[in-house]
Structure 1
């Protein structure tokens, strides 16, 4: 090898090292807003993030607590770049409709069919009243997830439907308590609350914890008029908690009619097309691992995930769905 050749080789190696160092420095840092700590969304987002980072070492994702109502605002404000979303809330945020006071700019989607959730209304096993009778009671002691979550917003709407409110409950000797799922389980076991008003994908963690807790409990149905109102007014879905989903919480057997939510992954339009393309492609190609994260993720279907989105599909996600043959 000549001196000139060695010089060229050295230059090439030097440039390679520099290029490698530059590539390592170009890590994309993203914050992904999930749900309440201990809930199904937090578990799901953590698992999906790990898959993305494993296959894409230059993408670093930080998972933070959030909620269906608040996550669009976190993206709009530049706090988070990704967030789990609820279909009807994402649409309302983009349009600036209630519960939002302004249109949220830059909301796009990586697709839906992620963790559809059913509302779980958990009461003492000896409770004989309907949900309507319970929520109309000004002395009700009910617990739900933190403020700015879809569960908390839905509880507000349900109370209002029965001419009640958090303020009336407080004045009537009752309580509306907001907390993490772990806190709500403890409050229920200690008789501080008599109702848990939450949502999660069957089987959801909070229900399983209550089922194995100190206090006998059961799930009850949502009244048909309330479900009709939430669907017609705000766009909620309708479904059931299937019979046999929980061994102890369904003593009467049979399906339990409840309001439902459809989840999607929100991503701000400022995230590059290449990054969103690679994240979407990675998740689609590794969907056989989803069952190890959370059972409900096995319902994810890339053939329909891109359809009927409440906000525009991100160009990077569209590229992935098309390249893999799921979108024409």
Structure 2
């Protein structure tokens, strides 16, 4: 009887969040769904797997996350329909739509639609405190720098940023968790992270050793902003115990994406659930503080999914017909 009561309470809780979803016609809804994320140890995996579970629990559809190579690969997987949902950054999204993805040169990935804004991805550098590296200019020639998984946002843009800043380096790739371990073991000198904050791998490093989280000078930030599709971003000192003051870096926006052919009603309900329950999303990951409707305007790259656009338009956030797939 106790177990039955617990199940009933859980079901009632689900109905409170999902409202009248269960009364709708679900004939065109998928039986299950998978969200393309990125490597373990990064924000995409934590955010994406938590969001998938949140949707599954409240909409009554089996769902989960899949580890991928990150934004660029997610664009390809969602475009082809191998995955129906994913997470991407607007820079890699633009390159993929234009047919400039290194994963499929010449293929214009135009069957990918935006669902909702996630958060900004700061580009930040971490080194061990005993390395003596406290600024970009301190990075020695030939330093081994980990840029994340091959094809990720960091791997796509951070090497070019380092080139722009005159840094000479040896390139290394791997999951964020693996690169964090390599940094701690002295196998690499620097990790160039591009992930929502706090980055799980950095938080884990702080527990085990002393690290320097390196920002940009005024001149460095200006040079990068003038050369890449990024904007200035401030990492609050409260984000990491290693920071004694706010750190200036640059960032790029992330959006959740769906294959444009996925059920309009299903995407509508996913968007509604996410946008109307920000407290639950922040409970999944602190970066979701930016996962609010007002940030829909940050999307200047992807067409909107009709289901997502319907929710935004119903709630006073105007998306023109020309912006909808």
What is the rounded CA distance, in whole Å, between the counterparts of 2:152 and 2:260 in structure 1? 23
Work out which of the residue numbers 217, 223, 228 in structure 1 matches 2:211. 217
Report if the CA contact (8 A) 2:127-2:213 is conserved: yes
What is the rounded CA distance, in whole Å, between the counterparts of 1:79 and 1:257 in structure 2? 38
Change (3 A) 1:225 1:35: farther
1:176 Cα deviation from its structure 2 partner: 2.6
Work out which of the residue numbers 230, 237, 247 in structure 2 matches 1:236. 230
Work out which of the residue numbers 153, 158, 161 in structure 1 matches 2:156. 153
Flag the structure with larger Rg.
1
- Of 307-316 and 22-31, deviating more is 22-31
What is the rounded CA distance, in whole Å, between the counterparts of 2:137 and 2:73 in structure 1? 27
What is the rounded CA distance, in whole Å, between the counterparts of 1:185 and 1:130 in structure 2? 19
Q: How does 1:99-110 map to 2 (within 5 A)?
A: 101-102=105-106, 103-110=108-115
- Of 64-73 and 149-158, deviating more is 64-73
Find out whether 1:291 has 2:286 as its counterpart: no
Change (3 A) 1:97 1:182: closer
Find out whether 1:130 has 2:135 as its counterpart: yes
Match of 2:181 in 1: 186
Task: Give secondary structure in 2 for the equivalent of 1:262.
Answer: strand
Change (3 A) 1:132 1:301: same
Task: Give secondary structure in 2 for the equivalent of 1:32.
Answer: strand
Structure 1 gap segments, 5+ residues each: 1-21, 170-174
1:324 Cα deviation from its structure 2 partner: 3.9
TM-score (ref. length: structure 1): 0.79
1:61 Cα deviation from its structure 2 partner: 4.1
Work out which of the residue numbers 71, 81, 84 in structure 2 matches 1:78. 81
Task: Give secondary structure in 2 for the equivalent of 1:305.
Answer: helix
Work out which of the residue numbers 268, 274, 282 in structure 1 matches 2:273. 282
Matched residue pairs, number?
A: 292
Task: Give secondary structure in 2 for the equivalent of 1:115.
Answer: strand
What is the rounded CA distance, in whole Å, between the counterparts of 1:25 and 1:308 in structure 2? 27
Report if the CA contact (8 A) 2:45-2:65 is conserved: no
Change (3 A) 1:25 1:224: closer
Work out which of the residue numbers 108, 118, 122 in structure 2 matches 1:118. 122
What is the rounded CA distance, in whole Å, between the counterparts of 2:51 and 2:28 in structure 1? 23
Report if the CA contact (8 A) 1:110-1:264 is conserved: yes
Report if the CA contact (8 A) 2:116-2:291 is conserved: no
Structure 2 gap segments, 5+ residues each: 1-24, 320-325
Report if the CA contact (8 A) 1:88-1:235 is conserved: yes
Task: Give secondary structure in 2 for the equivalent of 1:265.
Answer: strand
Report if the CA contact (8 A) 1:111-1:306 is conserved: no
Find out whether 1:318 has 2:323 as its counterpart: no
What is the rounded CA distance, in whole Å, between the counterparts of 2:217 and 2:49 in structure 1? 34
Match of 1:14 in 2: none
Q: How does 1:197-216 map to 2 (within 5 A)?
A: 197-213=192-208, 215-216=209-210
**Cα root mean square deviation, aligned:** 2.7
TM-score (ref. length: structure 2): 0.80
What is the rounded CA distance, in whole Å, between the counterparts of 2:181 and 2:72 in structure 1? 25
Output one character per residue of 1:141-170: Cα deviation in whole Å (capped at 9) or x when no partner: 2223110101111232124325566xxx4x
What is the rounded CA distance, in whole Å, between the counterparts of 2:124 and 2:56 in structure 1? 32
